Structure 1
Amino acid sequence: MWDSDTEAEPDPPDWSKNVPDEVLKQLSPREKKRQEIINELFHTERTHVRGLKVLDQVFYRPIREQLVLPPDQLELLFANLEEMLIIHSQFNNLMKAKRKESPIVGDIGMLLQFFFVQFEGEAFQKAAVSFCARQQIALDALKEKRKKEPKLHNFLTEAEMNPVCRRLQLKDIIPTGWIRLTKYPLLLENLSKHTPSECEEFTNLQWAIERSKEILSHVNKAVKEAQDEHRLAEIQRRLDRSQFDKVDHPMATEFRNIDLTKHRLIHEGCLNWRIANRPKLIDLHVLLLEDVIVLLQKQDEKYVLKFYNPTLSPVIKVSTVLVRPNAVDKKALFLVNTSQNGAQIYDLVTPSYAEKRM
């Protein structure tokens, strides 16, 4: 069930203890620092593999065998854990083999090239995206489910008491996959600082650094997209468009069955809407989607889509919008909808600025 990786300590061991004194004395301060960084890189990869094995043996397999979670939630939480374990174990084994060659670790640029750039590069990126993209969504769902289901709570509590978890809960262990991705560029950049720039090793390190950054960027983008999709699905479930559908207006007809999940979220936030002949500002929750702007009003647990003015639609096509600053109120702006005869002007202001004025 377990192997030597389970014995990996949280902190890197002292690499110099395995180096003969006469060899250690001949090393320059630069080379000693380089060996220290390599030691940290190798050790933290081993501890990461250990963490993946803990996830697999203490949580994933028992949950699957005991049917603690339904298959779809199990898949959402652990995704392709087995694939990630295989990939990182291969990397870890390459590092172990490299260390066995000599007490002083030589060039590792080709090893890093293999993992980040060549054979494993694309496979690793694809696997990392699958593993990380929906993790936070899964953890949020697990948190709520744990509150409601004693069987799940008791199982996780007992599993988290296992000494191999080192007092960490499942919610602390799962994100280590993404955290590991953030560490690679930092460690490799630090390593390159202590590597002569005129040698091939430095060039190989630069390739690995750039590729590790690309992989992290790709994963971060996938995480954001997954969270945005989840957010739109949540708003769609709570969307009340009953009043919107009743209005006889071209935009109401076109967007009568609006499905937010079919759009891409760019930004969301709060604004106040000033409408002529209305004494009070209207609090809005605004969705800026790739092709439309949606002006919602949050009421209790619902997001209400409705007309506040016969001519001003709460759904606006981005392709028809002109944005103009308000010359009087510097923290306000006008949205000018040019899709209909005559310009339709939306006077919007940030909530904090509205509070100051009032």
Structure 2
Amino acid sequence: EVNGVCVLLSKCYSPTCTKDKPCYSLSCPRRRTLKKQTSMKTLNKNKSIGNIIIQNINQNYLNSASNDEKTLWSSSVPMEILEKLSSKEIKKQEAIYEVYVTEKNFVKSLETVRDSIIKTLAETNIIPHDIRKNFIKHVFAHVNDIYSVNKRFLDSLNDRMHPQNYIISGIGDIILKWIPFFEPFVFYIASRPYAKYLMETQRQVNPYFSRFDEDLMNSKLRHGIDSFLSQGVSRPGRYVLLVREILKSTDQKKQPKEFDCLTKSLELLNALMKRIDKASGAAQDRHDVILLKQKILFKNEFVNLGLNDEKRRIRHEGTLFRKEINTISNTGQLSNQMSSSNLSGLNSNSVNVAQNFNMNNVGDIQFYLLDNVLLFLKSKAVNKWNQHKVFQRPIPLPLLFVIPGEEMSVSLRKYIASSSLTSLSQSSKKLSLINSSVNSNAITFLYYGAKQRYQITLYGAQIAAITTLLDKIKQEQNRLIQNYNIFTLYKLSDKVFDYNNRILSLEPFDYGKKNLVLTNQGL
């Protein structure tokens, strides 16, 4: 028999406990009921506030979209005018009209971001107060700069696109005038990697922001925040396509000035796209390095990898395994050895086995090839968060030897004559040539330092992944050799100096024109 009170089925037996003021006990049924009711009220209140916000955004959008332009130029021109034009002239007018319409829609999207999205996030508690200012600053960076330029660019197009002027002679002079002011696009696109990271983080940890973004997509806007912000990324490339299309349809003999303006505009836009590609690539590479720095956790000894250097880059990354993957059966079993015949027939089954191998936590190793070191990390889930601990001491590339296969078949000392970068690279190249015929998904790394030395063999899911890693390492080592090869070497003599007549010292004289050589046999 069990004697006692089941508090889940009864009211609280504390004399001080009431319906409005429950007692201190965490297991009090009244406290649980009150807490549940409070959470439901908060949820309903947030839903109602969210609905009001979305309704206001919809109303603002409808007000701004009340006078929409027609999509095609031909649909806005009387038929008698259209029949008098050639097909080439119609294509030109369509391209000019598309520049105007798409620019108008782009400016309208910027106004929606500024007046609806940014204002809502700044005035509500969708984003926590302590990070709200920083979030808006970085996610919507340079939006106002782009709007101020493109709004004036649109005004210039509006003046040229007069309702009574069905046929526009050209807009090359307008485009050429405003291209030098399109520089904010470079900074805007370069800021996108960090902005996307902030938004993805908020979606994962902040349900209110995630719900707000979903409501935007389900509203009359039909776009989320990402969709609005991506328009600024694609807009410069759209200018290039449209200007090129107008240039194709422009007669150089009839409109030489317009043709020259469009040609110069296209050159300036191509130069702008090159600057954008360079800036965005550098920003993405730097962002990847920052994320890597945040997740690295050293077990014992801290090693400075130079990740604070602005020029530091991740050249290659992937996953290796501490045990070999076997694909000889469809059951997905794993073994420690694999024949070369099975390795040559890797297919989709091997990928599935590799995924199962990874999911079973049998020791997958993430590697990062930076421009200065090779880094091994081991991922481990702790309290639903992944910790990335350094698996082995990072290997500086000048001290890295890597071969395909499971063992160093040749003594390393045979090929190491000195500690210079050139000799180390040549040694690694010879070892790679010796073992290049080995058909295996294994790869062996050797750290040959003065104080730190170790050798480790890891395995890849496919031979192609091992080959790619070997090529990337070779490229980075060759790059280091070229960057640090500051001396020009030449032979002084082939016969005079040998093991019996070794050079002990050398001193230049006669203003560097001659050298005084001291050997064990004299001067």
Q: Bin the TM-score by the shorter chain.
A: 0.7 to 0.9
Q: Find the partner of 1:315 among 396, 400, 403.
A: 396
**Deviation readout 1:297-325 (Å, 9 max, x if unpaired):** 332234443547xxxx6232499363735
CA distance in 2, matches of 1:243, 1:92: 60
| Residues paired across the two proteins, number | 329
Selected match of 1:260 from 268, 285, 307 = 307
| Structure 2 residue aligned with 1:353 | 463
Task: Judge conservation of contact 1:35–1:104 (CA < 8 Å) in 2.
Answer: yes
2:154 is equivalent to residue 96 of structure 1: no
Question: Is the contact between residue 460 and residue 466 of structure 2 (CA under 8 Å) also seen in structure 1?
Answer: no
User: CA 1:113/1:283 → structure 2, altered by over 3 Å: closer, same or farther?
Assistant: same
Q: Is the 8 A contact 2:319 2:460 kept in 1?
A: yes
Aligned to 1:68: 126
* Whole-angstrom CA distance in 2 between matches of 1:41 and 1:233: 39
**Alpha-carbon distance in 2 for matches of 1:180, 1:192:** 18
Considering fraction of residues, name the structure with more helix.
1
Q: Which amino acid aligns with 1:138?
A: A
1:270 aligned counterpart, secondary structure: strand
Alignment TM-score, normalising by the size of structure 2: 0.54
Give the alignment's TM-score, normalised by structure 1.
0.76
Aligned ranges 1:142-161 → 2 under 5 Å: 142-161=199-218
How far 1:55 moved relative to its partner?
Answer: 0.8
Shift in alpha-carbon separation, 1:331–1:45, aligned structure 2, 3 A: farther
Q: Are 1:179 and 2:234 an aligned pair?
A: yes
Cα separation, partners in 2 of 1:334 and 1:106, compared to 1, 3 Å = farther
- SS of the residue corresponding to residue 277 of structure 2 reads helix
Return the letter of the residue paired with 2:65: T
Contact 1:8 1:47 in 2 (8 A): no
Matches within 5 A, 1:116-195: 116=179, 121=180, 123-125=181-183, 127-163=184-220, 165=221, 167-195=222-250
Q: Helix, strand or coil for the counterpart of 1:177?
A: helix
Instruction: Please tell me whether the aligned partners of residues 12 and 40 of structure 1 are also in contact (alpha carbons under 8 angstroms).
Output: no
Deviation per CA, 1:121-141: give whole Å up to 9, x if none.
1x422x112322232432343
How far off is 1:242 after superposition? 3.0
- The structure with higher relative contact order (CA 8 Å, sep 6+) is 1
Q: Determine the structure 1 residue equivalent to 2:378.
A: 298
Q: How many angstroms does 1:181 deviate by?
A: 1.7
Code of the residue aligned with 2:397 in structure 1: it is I
Which ranges of structure 2 fall in alignment gaps of 5 or more residues? 1-59, 323-335, 339-362, 381-385, 400-419, 468-523
Three-state SS of the structure 2 residue aligned to 1:295 is strand
Contact 1:5 1:49 (8 Å CA) reproduced:
no
Unpaired segments ≥5 residues, structure 1: 246-255
- Asked which structure has the greater CA Rg, the reply is 2
Q: 1:155 to 1:299 in 2, by over 3 A?
A: closer
Per-residue CA distance 1:37-80 (angstroms, 9 max, x = gap):
11111111111111111111110112112253311111111112
Q: Distance in 2 between matches of 1:336 and 1:355?
A: 19
Paired with 1:57 and 1:2, the residues of 2 have a C-alpha distance of: 10
CA contact (8 A) 1:244 1:305 kept: no
Change (3 A) 1:217 1:288: farther
Q: Secondary structure at the match of 1:107?
A: coil
Equivalent pair of 1:109/1:201 in contact (CA under 8 Å): yes
1:12–1:44 Cα contact (<8 Å) kept? no
Residue 264 of structure 1, CA deviation: 2.0
Q: Which amino acid letter does the alignment assign opposite residue 299 of structure 1?
A: S
Q: Deviations over 1:123-162 (max 9, x none)?
A: 422x112322232432343233234324334444455555
Deviations 1:262-306 (A, max 9, x none): 2421522227599xxxx889965443434x032323322344435
| Range 319-328 or range 80-89, more displaced | 319-328
Could you tell me the percent identity over the aligned residues? 19
The separation in 2 between residues aligned to 1:18 and 1:46, in whole angstroms, is 16
Q: Distance in 1 between matches of 2:186 and 2:462?
A: 38
